[in-house]
Amino acid sequence: MVSKKNRIVIALGGNALQANPKDTTAESQLVTAKNTAKPIVDLIQEGHEVIIAHGNGPQVGQIVATYEGAAQVNSSFPIMPFPECGAMSQGYIGYHLQQAIREEMLHRGIKKSVAALVTQVVVDKKDPAFENPTKPVGSFFTEEEAQRLVKEKGYAMKEDAGRGYRRVVPSPEPIDVVEAPIVKTLVDAGHVVITVGGGGVPVVDNGNGSLEGVAAVIDKDFASAKIAEILDADYLIILTAVEKVSINFNKPNQKDLSELTIEDVQKYIDEGHFAPGSMLPKVKAAAKFVKSKPGRRTLITSLEKAKEGIEGKTGTVIIS
């Protein structure tokens, strides 16, 4: 339960940005963001320092697909590099969230500033993920088109469940957050900050202090845990589509869990209870943050149950 005034990083899942997966318009996302703002402002109203992180899977996919579609119509149309697409998605999602949170704070008479920061996240160019790209992004292509993109653009392409071929990019682990000192300065000054959107724009250090964007996707839960660790946060709250973490999920013997130790998390991971690309990165990120310093805790719950989870009435808490 969050009782004293804490520094809290909130990691928003996709359902916090697009309540209806079939309606991917910007207008719909802004409406969803306004609902998402309410449990966030609950924490701000209680006096907690709040930092917000978020995913960007559908949004960056839409941006990539738009450029790919234009290039299919007109071969001379330049395809936007993937790091720039990630930055675009950070910008427009951050704009929606800062608008929604500011409006909710104004409605409650809270006089605070909120800002979204386009954030670069450092990854290791030798990360094994670069040898095995797995994250699908953008449009579907025929086998012939996919082969052409491999030859002309150097893309990694994989067949996707009989629907065609898609580009796949690596998912390396975050090492550091370039703009973390700026985020800390803003938070220390009492501002609300939105950062590491979509896991941040992945960059590698070229060894001379310069940074280069790379075509990759950093898991937003790991990026959220990293910025929470750097900012010395007390609490990481991962908001997702379910109320509690479960073992034997969707089986007759499903068991919902209210509290997990780091040892429990590893045990259930080893037993294969958590799906890759779904709950697995969340519990891994939760445990990683909790292990980083004694006394840190992570809450995993749904957006709808966030307030109750914060009050200790529901959700799954990971402790050391």
Displacement of CA 244 from its chain's centroid (Å): 18
d(CA 320, CA 310): 18
Please answer whether residues 220 and 53 qualify as being in contact, where contact means their C-beta atoms are separated by less than 8 angstroms. yes
Nearest to 300 by CA among 247, 242, 238, 258: 238
Residue 92: which residues within 8 A CB-CB, separation 6 or more?
Answer: 26, 59
CA angle 237, 240, 242 (to 5 degrees): 115
CA angle 22, 33, 195 (to 5 degrees): 110
* DSSP class per residue in 232-246: T-SEEEEEESSSSEE
Q: How far is CA 157 from CA 45, 139, 147, 160, 170, in A?
A: 47, 11, 8, 9, 12
d(CA 207, CA 259): 43
Catalytic residues: 14-15, 135, 220, 282
Nearest to 97 by CA among 60, 54, 42, 63: 54
d(CA 135, CA 170): 6
d(CA 136, CA 134): 6
C-alpha torsion sign, points 303, 308, 313, 318: positive
